[in-house]
Amino acid sequence: MLKLPQSAYVSLRRHGEETYPHECCGVLLGQIGDNSVRTVTSVARAGNTRTDSAHNRYNIDPKDLIRIQREGRGRGEDIIGFYHSHPDHPARWSQTDLAEAHWFGCSYVITSVEKGKAVLTNSFELTGSGENHKKLVDEKIEVSPPEGSPDGNRPQKMRAARGQPIGRDHAAISASPNDPAFVARPAGKPVYYGFQVLDDVNVDGFTLGKITDFEEEPCDSGDAFVVAPDNSRAGLVWEVHEPPYFEEVRPADPERWGVWAVSFPFPMTDRENARRNLQTVLPRLNEKWEAWRRGGGTKPR
C-alpha cells in the first residue's frame, strides 16, 4: 500500500497537467514501514530528459536523482517510489515502464492526463527476484486529508488501483482508433466524456456518472462525477464512511466545478443506493455548483 498526504497527491497530478502534452516525472520520498507500507512525506519534481519522445517516455537525470536522494536523507527520508504521467493514455503501466523500472520494493505512480486535465491516478509496486523476473503489481493508494482539517487524523481510501473496473460508456465516440473515448476525448465534448452517465440516478436535475464501476464489482471507495442541470460537471472521490465529510481535492476551473472527496452512508451496491448517496451530498454539491456559476464558470457545449 502507498500512503500519500493530500498535498502530495494534488502536487503530482498538477505536475502532469503543467507538463502536458509531455510526460512529467518525479520522486516519492518517505519511509517504508511494517508490511511494506510506503508512507510518502514529500515529493520532488524532476525534469524529463527524454527530449526525443517526451510525449510518451520519461527519464530522470541521474544527477537529479542523486541530489534528491542526498537532500532526502538529510531530512530522514528515503526514496520509496517514483511518479510520471501518461498524456492522453490510461493510467496503467506499459512494457516500457516495466523495462525501465529498477527500484524493487518501490511504488510507481501513474496519472492519466486527458486533454490537459488529470483523470485517474494508480500505483504499482515493483516486485520480483531480479530483472528477468520483475513485475509491476497493483497497489492501493490511501490519501490523507490536510493537517488541521476536521478529518485530519482519518486516512481516506481515495481509490483502489487498476483492479477496479472502469465504467466506460461504450457508445461514446473516441477521437483515436486506438484509445477509449475517456482518454481520447473529441473536441467539444465535456470533461468525463467516455465514462457512463447513469440517467436513472438523478436527484433534482443532478445526475451521477460512474468512473469506478461499482455495479460490476461492489466496492467501498472509488471515483465518480456529477452532471448538473446545465450539463457542467464535477468530479467525486468517494468512500462509504461514517461520520460524513466533504472536502476539496481540486479547485474549480472553467471546465468543471471542482473535484470533491465525499463520504457516502449507503453501500455502493446498486443504483438505488447510489441515488440515495447522491441525495445525501447534493446540498453541498449544489452550493459548489451555484458558486461556480456566480463566478462565471464556462458551461460545456
Residues 251 and 134 in one domain: no
- Give dist(CA 40, CA 27) in Å, integer: 10
Given 159, 176, 204, which residue is the final one in a domain?
159
- Could you tell me if 24 and 122 lie in one domain? yes
Q: What is the largest CA-CA distance in the chain?
A: 57
Write down the pLDDT at residue 159.
Answer: 38
- In a domain? residue 176: no
What are 188-206's pLDDT values in tens digits? 999 999 999 999 999 999 9
**Structural domain includes residue 165:** no
Do residues 118 and 209 share a domain?
no
Position 47 scores a pLDDT of: 87
Residue 63 included in any domain: yes
CATH of the domain at 14: 3.40.140.10
Residue 301's pLDDT is 33
The low-confidence residues of the chain, meaning pLDDT below 70, are 145-164, 297-301
Give the residue numbers marked as catalytic. 23
52 with 138, same domain? yes
| Residue 7: partners with Cβ closer than 8 Å, 6 or more residues away | 146
Whether 178 maps to a domain, the answer reads no
- 109 strand-pairing partners: 83, 123
Please, are residues 261 and 289 in contact by the beta-carbon 8 Å criterion?
no
CA distance 245 to 278: 14
Q: Looking at the structure, tell me whether residues 210 and 93 fall in a common domain.
A: no
117 in the same domain as 9: yes
Q: Which of 113, 132, 159 is the last residue of a domain?
A: 159
CA 79 to chain centroid, in Å, comes to: 21
Shared domain check, 105 and 43: yes
**Dist. CA 96–CA 55, nearest whole Å:** 13
Clarify whether residues 130 and 206 are in a common domain.
no
Range of the domain at 260: 196-294
Looking at the structure, tell me whether residues 43 and 140 fall in a common domain. yes
Q: Please state the domain count of the chain.
A: 2
Domain boundary among 104, 130, 159: 159
Phi, psi (degrees; rounded to nearest 5) at 240: -80, 115
Is 54 a member of any domain?
Answer: yes
From CA 110, how far away is CA 139, in angstroms rounded?
12
Question: In this structure, are 256 and 133 located in the same domain?
Answer: no
Q: In what order do the strands lie in the sheet with 256-264?
A: 196-203, 206-210, 221-227, 233-240, 256-264, 246-250
| Judgement on whether residues 219 and 126 belong to the same structural domain of the protein | no
Does residue 185 sit within a domain?
A: no
217 and 274 housed in the same domain: yes
**Position 220 in a domain:** yes
Query: Each residue of 106-141: pLDDT tens digit?
Result: 999 999 998 888 888 999 999 998 888 999 999 989
Indicate whether 169 belongs to any domain: no
pLDDT of residue 84: 95
